[in-house]
Chain A
């Protein structure tokens, strides 16, 4: 089975700091693999262990360290789509991935539910839509039996079970099994695994095709909220009294 994992490098969520003067994140934050994507990779590696085949990790935008980590964890090869216009927005990212995926024709595409930086959760669905493939999001459990995935997905107030046959796009949440640590052997082997670098031009994509749909207008910090008033462990009458006094003091009772 040919399994692709979409993997993005994001600023380390533990180190992210906002710089009010720049109106952006402080520069130079270390980049790491997006966490959900590593869960997707772990699922892909387990699937390969079960049915055999190949795991290919693909990333749009600079992702040297994240791809190396994926190779060390056991992916067979990596593809990095880079250069002018990339990564752009979720739409252009998906465009570039689709152009490449059409060549590879994988059976399964695993991706993270969303990234910790932009958090749009759009890339997986956009890829599925452009390739006209079924998509299952919020995957928290799966089994592959008799050529069919039995999938458990998390929904608003419960879990849903679905069956779907490849080719399919699956979006992983972190309730899936923990990503494995790379072994020392894996780290050494990763050096010898192929990493392919492709530009938009290599994929036959024009500048128009890569026009982003979304323009970011910079970041700002939410205004700090005042600590609320907590009324607790008092008889109901008194609680009502306090609540009314509070609302009145704020001029909220007309």
Chain B
């Protein structure tokens, strides 16, 4: 029997795979996306903030027609102790007007819409297909095998199968991920009415809030709790590095329960009805765990390549832009008819010229930084909330005396030299 062939196979219809397929299809390349879910988004979890600018690089003006939940106009950062919360809020009307900055989305709907754009451009989307392995010939990757569903051959295979990519492992492009390179996140989708969300979060119709909470929201582990408002649901979740969860014997769904019961969070969720619970891995090995990103006949994109910035909850934009850059690499390779690792290595260069590799490099030491300072997410929130409590309590103590106490306690708890060292170290990590 003759081989069934296309020019490019994309495995996975998440943001990375679809962005690649869309870019290729627009350039007239014959591309097939193989997705194991019954439809794109069927198996996807996302806390759900989608940034406008990177998305517009793929579908200009998408926000006029895509299924988006709310435009995020306000960001809250909270530092939590067992009971208290201290926070910073930034809000601007500018984020609530075209062209907007970011949106909350529900993956099940967004992914389907995004995949539809690729189909409209001419990509073939095949759902219900689980790819089990890549096919090799003379040391080159030449296609994929999907169990009893058969084989398909192509000039290039793009691995876009998400976090913990089994295909990249089977293809020998990456070693097995380690527990310290994955975060485990538990998430719930809870229903409230549209008006109730607008009342509780103080936003007008179509506008929403994103909250990120550090400290007790993860039991002091490296990670954060989040809460995003959708149209008539809220996404709430929390998670931490798998290795930390294991060593501290913490269960993420317990963490999530505790986060939801926190006095600063519980009133926001009161009476909300559970729609869906899920748990998911986020690759956080980043720079240190980068797989081989290109091989003879293959490229790795998105979460499969570990392209996530956990610090600023960016994943889908890394996914989409890496998918686009992979597609552009293939277009250049196709022009000269050479799909060798050498020709596809242009992908690395493109990643270096974009924000993707530079950002991963910038944050490469965050995990060790926090691990060396376990007090950061435990003692600092305690000390700071205590100081605020004293400051705000009116109890007849003369102010000068009160301020003195606060300062003395802060010096005792925060240890200024240590703090200064931490701040400087932190700044050196992140700024160049």
Contact = CB atoms under 8 A, between A and B. Distances in A.
Q: Are chains A and B native binding partners rather than an unrelated pairing?
A: yes
Interface of A: 12, 14-15, 17, 21, 28, 30, 32, 65, 69, 72, 181-185, 187-188, 191
22 contacts: A12-B42, A14-B38, A15-B42, A15-B108, A17-B275, A21-B193, A28-B67, A28-B109, A30-B108, A30-B112, A72-B126, A181-B148, A182-B129, A183-B148, A184-B34, A184-B150, A184-B151, A185-B150, A188-B4, A188-B6, A188-B32, A188-B152
Contacts of B149: 181-184
B39 interface: yes
Contact of B129 (A14, A15, A187, A191): A187
Contacts of B38: 12, 14, 30, 32
Contact of B128 (A17, A182, A188, A191): A182
Contact of A30 (B34, B39, B126, B193): B39
Nearest to B39: A30
Contacts of B193: 21
A172 B57 CA distance: 48
Interface in B1-16: 4, 6
Contacts of B129: 181-182, 184, 187
Contacts of B146: 184
Contacts of B108: 15, 30
Nearest to A185: B4
Please indicate which of the listed interface residues B6, B112, B124, B193 has the most CB atoms of chain A within 10 Å of its own CB: B124
B34 to A, nearest CB: 8
Given A32-B38, A181-B128, 4 more contacts: A181-B148, A182-B126, A182-B128, A188-B6
B3 to A, nearest CB: 10
Residue from B112, B149, B152, B193 whose CB has the most chain A CB atoms within 10 Å:
B149
Nearest to B275: A17
Interface string B263-278: 0000000000001000
Nearest to B146: A184
A184 B126 contact: yes
A185 B151 CA distance: 8
A72 to B, nearest CB: 8
A14 B149 CA distance: 24
A168 B109 CA distance: 41
Nearest to B109: A28
Contacts of A191: 124
Interface of B: 4, 6, 32, 34, 38-39, 42, 67, 108-109, 112, 124, 126, 128-129, 146, 148-152, 193, 275
A30 B42 contact: yes
A188 B151 CA distance: 11
Contacts of A181: 128-129, 148-149
Nearest to A64: B119
Contacts of B126: 72, 182, 184, 187
A14 B193 CA distance: 22
Nearest to B6: A188
A72 B149 CA distance: 11
A69 B39 CA distance: 12
Contacts of A12: 38-39, 42
Nearest to A188: B4
Nearest to A189: B4
A12 B109 CA distance: 13
Given A30-B112, A191-B124, A184 B42 contact: no
Contacts of A28: 67, 109
B232 to A, nearest CB: 8
By Cβ-Cβ distance, the 6 closest A-B pairs, closest first, are: A183-B150, A184-B152, A184-B150, A187-B126, A185-B4, A30-B39
B143 to A, nearest CB: 9
B11 to A, nearest CB: 12
A65 B124 CA distance: 12
Contacts of B150: 183-185
Nearest to A72: B126
Nearest to B193: A21
B151 to A, nearest CB: 6
Nearest to A30: B39
Nearest to B113: A28
A12 B38 CA distance: 9
A253 to B, nearest CB: 37
Contacts of A65: 39
A14 B37 CA distance: 12
B14 to A, nearest CB: 16
Nearest to B147: A181
A15 B109 CA distance: 11
Contacts of A30: 38-39, 42, 108, 112
B8 to A, nearest CB: 14
Contacts of A184: 4, 34, 126, 129, 146, 149-152
A188 B152 CA distance: 9
A183 B34 CA distance: 12
Contacts of A17: 275
A74 to B, nearest CB: 13
Contacts of B42: 12, 15, 30
Contacts of A21: 193
Nearest to B5: A188
Contacts of B34: 184
A190 to B, nearest CB: 9
A14 B275 CA distance: 12
Contacts of B4: 184-185, 188
